[in-house]
Structure 1
Amino acid sequence: MIPFTGKQLQLIQLLMNRSSPVAFEELSQLLEAGRRSVYYIVNKTNEVLQMNALEPVFCKRGAGYYLKEEQKQRLSELLKNEKKLLSEVLTPQQRVSFLICCMIYPKSVIHVEDIMQLLKCSRNTVFSDLKNVKEQLKAYGLELRIDLKNGYGVEGKAFNKRAVLLYFLKQLLNEVDVHTLPFLDMEQVDDYYDRLLKISSEREHEYRKDNLLSIACMLSIIRDSPEQYDFSLMELRDLCETQELDLIDRYFQELNVHERLYLALHLLGSKASRELNPQDDEHDIRIFELSSRLVESFERTACVSFDDKNDLINSIYMHLKLSMYYNRLGIQVVNPLIDEIQKQYTDIYMITQLVCEDLRDLFQMPIMDSEIAYLTMHFGGHLKQGVRCYDEIRILVVCPSGISTSTLLKREIEGLYANVRVVDTASLDHVQDYEQQVDFIVSTIDVKSEVPVIQVHPILTREDKARIASMMMLNFDCYEINNEKLGGLFSIIAAYVKDTDMDALKRDVLAYLNHGNSFVGIRDQAHIGLLDILSEENIQVVEHAGSWKDMIQTASRPLLNRGIIQSSYVQEMIHLVDEYGPYILLANAVAVAHAKPEHGAFRLGLSLLVSHEKVFFDEVSSVRYLFVLSDAAHDKHLNVLHEILQLSRSSTLLQQLDACSCAQEVLHILQSAFS
């Protein structure tokens, strides 16, 4: 069914509940709409009724508007399956995605009033959304056009417009039912989708269905556009050698040659396992240099060091090379785990975002949230783990979602327990090669194996962690959890169960675990926050802090006096700024000075110096709020750094700190903000 928007649904429900016509004046009062708006709502409602193969609202002169009984029965059946109003479903970011998809290739003129009616939003909300639309389009070299006669639209290169359309369509379809999107011709979308599924069937279902649906929606939107996509000789050479183009020629004969080639590109980009590989070219050196810069900048900003730095650089290089190649072809790959990454790895995500913003000019493509999430997975997967001192348990990770997801999942599992080692990450085809080398398997997909298997989400949930803990408890002589060393449960049970029954018992218990159950509970790990380590004694408020070197030394004094750091740590912080410039600056005159643990950090600590006058670190960069951060480990401080980043982006909070005259007042404001 084509859905009704807010006022349209209100009108339909009103008329369905009346046995006699509703007068125009009463209708205007009940809909809280003026004369022109009522006519507009009725006309738009009739358009939706027509699209649903229903008769329009009837109007009887001198009496008012009404629906026939047959219409009411049909509508009643349709509305039983009606989703929530679109305006109630969409978040602010989803509204931006919705508007971009509407405006790139509009089917009709779009004015502010149309958006207000469509999304049931106020005029101010619409203008706020349009401002965000303009900013996000600018990142792709596109411009929001505003014309009193022709309404809103998007101007720019066809390549950019289609890439943006597909990117935001994918984001929208991840969370919104496709049938609730009024800018789509669902009859045509269903037709395209069915044909794409037939192609997928002939290719043994290599393509992800969500990507196929996005492509079907995009085809429906761009089908009447006169714009054509231009291909390079390199792209034509690659495409003409693919089976995808042969299938498209058979199933989409009505499309012109350009559109068939364009569709072939997106089918290749939607494969679960990528086969369209970029060739080496002159861009490779710049991509490798960017990868190195990203890793080095992340180390400095996050105050961490990577033992396998070269492996990380190579992983990011291969990822960026593929991403930039897809970008040149107009293929948009949206990270399906973006929400989980932003929620569970907020600290690493924000640091990655900051690093990418600093190096934005070196990227050869727009840096969207999805790409930042992929890079977050690479960085998170290579952060150091604690030292292991227990009997080793060997686990195989099976995850077909790509290198970044596999690496992050490996790190999560090894970080949970002191005695776990992930032997390798493998595809489904190679599981048998490892069965003699591992104690059990953790997989994101269904796996049939003689070795015990636990199926989990790509980002581990609390329930996933509990099932892994249960498996360890059952199958092994010892494991480490909650700082206690316990005997394996099966070895205890074996003393009370006949040998002939033990195999069956194990099989039934493992089946119980594989069905999502567990024997132990896992609490979410508490993150150390800014207020956990910043005391009143570590806060100083001064009128002027002197030079930038004086500022670092003064801010470090509370940590020095308490033995948290030593003087060599202070000298290293100054040396790093001398060597790399004011990289410690975040935003709004907030900075975080830090160094690696080996230079004299004995434990986790934080101090803050507030200077009423600016301290310049170079000709343009000034600081008024300087944090000094230390951590004897390598990742305990990341959430603290995340909260400082939040502080640096809150002009309201910084204005409150400006008025403080003592450490007690500063701490009180921070407690109000972060408690």
Structure 2
Amino acid sequence: MKTLPALPKSTWRVLRILCDEQEGITAQNLASISKTSKRMIYYDLENVKYALAVLEIGELNHNRCGYFLHDEQKDSLRSILLQSEEIHDKDDRVSYMIIRMLFHEDIIRLESFCEKFEVSRNTILRDLNEVKSLLEDHQLYLLNTKKEGYFVEGDIFRKRMVFLDHVKQLLKHIHYTKLDFFDTTIIEEYTMKLNKVFQKVEITASQHDVIALALLLLTMRIAPMNYRFNVADLSNICATKELKVIDKYFSELSYHERIYLAIQLLGYGSNRDFLDQNTEPYHYLQELAIQLVDMFEKVSCLRFDHKEELVNSIYMHMKLSYYNYCYSIPSMNPLLDDIKENYSELVKITELCCEKLKEQFPYPYFDSEITYLTMHFASFLRRDRKEKACANVILVCLNGTAGSMLLRNEIENQFENINIVDILNQTQVNAKVYEQKIDFIISTVELTCEYPMIRVNPILSTKDKANIASFMMLSASGYKVDNQQLKVVLQILQRNVDTETFIRIRDEICDYMNAGGSLMYLEENRQVTLCELLEQSSIVLDASYGVNWMDAIWECAQPLLEQRCIEKNYITRMIELIHGYGPYIVISQRIAIAHAQPEDGVLHLGISLHIYPKGLTIGNTSIQFLFVLATPNQSDHLHILQDIMTLNEHEEYMNQIVQAENAKQVMYYLQDLLKEDL
């Protein structure tokens, strides 16, 4: 077997992304996923072309969707990547060390890591300092004694969550057999059994998630603990299908360990009947859900039409999260990476809101919880829709209320003329009868039914959207598309063949699309960046001291007024809202984003920035960055907020900006931070 040439870490990352990508991916999207610049991506793509040439497996392909590899190339690369993967990268070393020290049966010494990674003692000491810092972020503590060696002290729930996080990160880069301190035979046995259990209880999960859960089960055997399940909880769980299936396949586990695994699986689905129906112990979660939604509205410049429903949705999720915490059960969000990639703006906002309310949470939260909450918020974002929907569609999903709600919202926001009649799982499809005509089914799983069906990903890809648009045409729903030539061809066919023949042709085209083909290409809308918007308005450095915050908002908003992004009453409304609700525009110790609602006088998307090196007092906070934001709807500004959140996370860039001599220097620092081409 040929081996890969020596490649930079960034190129390895691009190779893995290309191997996982189902359709073409643009350089911009590669840069976004890799958190680097397009310039660096083009450098990595040249390395990829070189690697393909050395391996003699063809060239890197490119189409309208972007760069892609053929299936044969992917198979060859995956095999070679698997053989080539060793733990040499610092981040992977750190994850390996954390996983090993959290749950182990042997004594771990510094020398064992030096020998494992073939690096110096000083390198391992630096790695251990990072391990110590990462663990302390989650209130876990790295200890070292002569008798016991290195080990981690702390709450079992936090240990299990950190364990899962690092296992999932490491499994993206290496094969589980590289975790050589675990018994590979047992891992494979547990993985096989879990796959059968997941199939029986109709749960979908990536193979990495299944392996991670198998490893978690292994740690339970290494570090067993007693669980104090109350009688009501035990009664509810014992009645579930999940426990009955687990009893069949995992008879070697103790009774409490099987209960533990059942609760873990119940968290994947939409069934919440097993939760204690007594709401009294959870009343503070209802209040926390209200505070979180209020905070999200203020930070995101959004307003939810169905706020009470959203609060209840988040409350029910928090109830499950707290329940899991009480029994030291870490949650795994199977859509975590997809949510981070496709809803990165909302993830940032959700994370900030949770941080502001951190002291109110009765349980620690990790990335899994942040992305679950993001899914709930995303599910309730609205866009203006036409009054009449033309295509009646059934949505079929396997897992979870949040996932199905999110997919429904994506579809209805993308396609004005789709009406989601019902959301079902695959066992319910053929059992229900509807009065209205069902045009087709959109499903995240394979199924056999009487209706035309299109298979999509849990998070819609560009190809998914193109295929749905094609179905809209074929169902004569009146969906308007740019591909007018194809529409004319279909109309000619319908006029010149009998109905039975036309339906047969249409169904064959449907089969073609379900096999991965599409009848049109939908261009992704390019989003204007924060830097581009600021170039259109202005950046002002104000070195004065003691400026009144109301005057500051008027001055900062002037460029938007002059460009007709806003009307004058929008400025008045921003100030009225601050008087009425307090300094809600302050999102951190250094940044404030003044805004009102779209209907308060927004004409176009726009943003302006005033910087106060000596501080601008708003409420009890002295901020240095005042943004005035105008957004005409619920979504156009979210990526702009993400850029501002990124700035908020980088103290060194904020320090450089407040010391800048002019707007040109400010723009340079912002472009460098946000990885835009200079």
Check whether TM > 0.5. yes
Aligned-residue offset at 1:175: 6.1
Q: Is the 8 A contact 1:569 1:600 kept in 2?
A: yes
Aligned-residue offset at 1:290: 1.1
Alignment deviations for residues 528-562 of structure 1 (CA, whole Å, 9 cap, x no partner): 31123222652222212612233222212222333
Q: Which amino acid aligns with 1:270?
A: L
Q: Which amino acid aligns with 1:155?
A: E
- 5 Å matches for 1:236-315? 236-238=234-236, 259-271=254-266, 273=269, 274=271, 276-315=274-313
Alignment deviations for residues 181-227 of structure 1 (CA, whole Å, 9 cap, x no partner): 112112333455566678779x6677969566445433433435475
Q: Is the 8 A contact 2:345 2:639 kept in 1?
A: yes
Q: Is the 8 A contact 2:202 2:398 kept in 1?
A: no
- Give me the TM-score of the superposition, normalised by structure 1: 0.78
- What is the DSSP-based 3-state SS (H/G/I as helix, E as strand, rest coil) of the residue aligned with 1:374? helix
- 5 Å matches for 1:392-541? 392-432=390-430, 433=432, 436-476=436-476, 478-482=478-482, 487=487, 489-535=489-535, 537-541=537-541
Q: Which amino acid aligns with 1:590?
A: I
Aligned to 1:187: 185
Aligned to 2:606: 605
1:583 is the counterpart of 2:581? no
Distance 1:143 1:356 in 2: 23
- For residues 254 and 412 of structure 1, do their structure 2 counterparts lie closer, same or farther at Cα, with a shift above 3 Å needed? closer
Alignment deviations for residues 99-119 of structure 1 (CA, whole Å, 9 cap, x no partner): 332112223232344334434
Aligned-residue offset at 1:236: 4.8
Aligned to 1:21: none
Greater mean deviation of Cα atoms: 600-609 or 572-581: 572-581
Match for 2:116 among 111, 118, 123? 118
Distance 2:198 2:613 in 1: 64
Q: Is the 8 A contact 2:242 2:265 kept in 1?
A: no
Aligned to 2:644: 644
Q: Is the 8 A contact 1:235 1:329 kept in 2?
A: no
Unaligned runs of 5+ in 1: 1-78
- For residues 536 and 667 of structure 1, do their structure 2 counterparts lie closer, same or farther at Cα, with a shift above 3 Å needed? farther
Distance 1:191 1:635 in 2: 46
Aligned to 2:380: 382
Q: Greater relative contact order: 1 or 2 (C-alpha under 8 angstroms, separation 6 or more)? A: 2
Unaligned runs of 5+ in 2: 1-78
Q: Which has the larger radius of gyration?
A: 1
- What is the DSSP-based 3-state SS (H/G/I as helix, E as strand, rest coil) of the residue aligned with 2:83? coil
**Residues paired across the two proteins, number:** 591
Aligned-residue offset at 1:516: 1.2
Alignment deviations for residues 35-65 of structure 1 (CA, whole Å, 9 cap, x no partner): xxxxxxxxxxxxxxxxxxxxxxxxxxxxxxx
- What is the DSSP-based 3-state SS (H/G/I as helix, E as strand, rest coil) of the residue aligned with 2:382? coil
Aligned-residue offset at 1:563: 3.3
Aligned-residue offset at 1:305: 0.7
Aligned to 2:552: 551
Aligned-residue offset at 1:402: 1.4
Aligned to 2:635: 635
Distance 2:597 2:216 in 1: 49
Distance 1:143 1:192 in 2: 30
- 5 Å matches for 1:62-141? 83-87=83-87, 92=91, 95-119=93-117, 126=124, 129-138=127-136, 140-141=138-139
Q: Is the 8 A contact 2:378 2:406 kept in 1?
A: yes
Greater mean deviation of Cα atoms: 225-234 or 179-188: 225-234
- What is the DSSP-based 3-state SS (H/G/I as helix, E as strand, rest coil) of the residue aligned with 2:479? strand
- What is the DSSP-based 3-state SS (H/G/I as helix, E as strand, rest coil) of the residue aligned with 2:627? strand
Distance 1:479 1:198 in 2: 41
- What is the DSSP-based 3-state SS (H/G/I as helix, E as strand, rest coil) of the residue aligned with 2:354? helix
- For residues 280 and 176 of structure 1, do their structure 2 counterparts lie closer, same or farther at Cα, with a shift above 3 Å needed? farther
- What is the DSSP-based 3-state SS (H/G/I as helix, E as strand, rest coil) of the residue aligned with 1:87? coil
Aligned to 1:334: 332
Q: Which amino acid aligns with 1:98?
A: Y
Q: Which amino acid aligns with 1:630?
A: A
- For residues 152 and 565 of structure 1, do their structure 2 counterparts lie closer, same or farther at Cα, with a shift above 3 Å needed? same
Aligned-residue offset at 1:267: 2.9
Aligned to 2:360: 362
Q: Which amino acid aligns with 1:457?
A: N
- 5 Å matches for 1:565-584? 565-584=566-585
Cα RMSD, aligned residues only = 3.4
Aligned to 1:66: none
Aligned-residue offset at 1:283: 3.0
Aligned-residue offset at 1:640: 0.9
Distance 2:556 2:197 in 1: 64
Aligned to 1:657: 657
Distance 1:525 1:122 in 2: 49
Alignment deviations for residues 121-179 of structure 1 (CA, whole Å, 9 cap, x no partner): 66676556545544554465432213355332111244554455456545655664322
- What is the DSSP-based 3-state SS (H/G/I as helix, E as strand, rest coil) of the residue aligned with 2:585? coil
Q: Is the 8 A contact 1:589 1:622 kept in 2?
A: yes
- For residues 580 and 262 of structure 1, do their structure 2 counterparts lie closer, same or farther at Cα, with a shift above 3 Å needed? farther
Aligned to 2:68: none
Aligned to 2:48: none
- 5 Å matches for 1:8-19? none
Aligned-residue offset at 1:299: 0.7
- What is the DSSP-based 3-state SS (H/G/I as helix, E as strand, rest coil) of the residue aligned with 1:534? helix
Aligned-residue offset at 1:607: 0.8
Distance 2:635 2:130 in 1: 34
Q: Which amino acid aligns with 2:141?
A: E
Greater mean deviation of Cα atoms: 594-603 or 130-139: 130-139
